[in-house]
Amino acid sequence: MTTTLPDVSKINRQWLLIDAQGQILGRMASRIAQLLRGKHKPIFTPHLDTGDFIIVINASKVKVTGKKLSQKQYKRYSGYPGGLTSQPLEDLLARHPERVIELAVKGMLPDGPLGRQQLGKLKVYPGAEHPHQAQRPTPYALGRSPAGATA
């Protein structure tokens, strides 16, 4: 038996448009990661980039559940003594809502060059406008969040 691998140059990539308004952050991020990896396609191969391009709009209107707005901390370290900076989700969502979605999706992709290549196909915008009209993105419907989620 032989295993056939898809030809990377002939992979058909679509542009999908996802509206983040009212979506729960983690559930939306896991679905986006699956689409970026290409797990929804029959030609999926773990070590190849077979996924689609994803455009996320209304990133500032994403929802989180529980007390994550005040308790979840995003940390970064400069490498110097005393260089640990911590920022709550609420502040990051107010200043850079696109980073919240990018960081959530990044954590669900593989480490290394393949994951970075797949993350490069994710385009996130805080409002409803995006500069990718020429690609004619197809709207992709995710499930709506329950009424109990907080903004």
| Per-residue model confidence as pLDDT tens digits over 84-138 | 999 999 999 999 999 999 999 999 999 999 999 999 999 999 999 999 999 999 9
Name the CATH superfamily for 15-139: Ribosomal protein L13 (3.90.1180.10)
Pairing of strands 122-124, 138-139: unpaired
Average pLDDT over the chain, rounded to an integer: 93
What integer is the mean pLDDT of 43-51? 94
User: Residue ranges of the domains in the chain?
Assistant: 15-139
Query: Tokens representing 53?
Result: 């391009």
Confidence at residue 145, expressed as pLDDT on a 0 to 100 scale: 47
Backbone angles phi, psi at 85, to 5 degrees: -115, 135
Least Cα distance to 53 among 145, 130, 110, 144 occurs for 130
Confidence at residue 8, expressed as pLDDT on a 0 to 100 scale: 85
pTM for the whole structure: 0.89
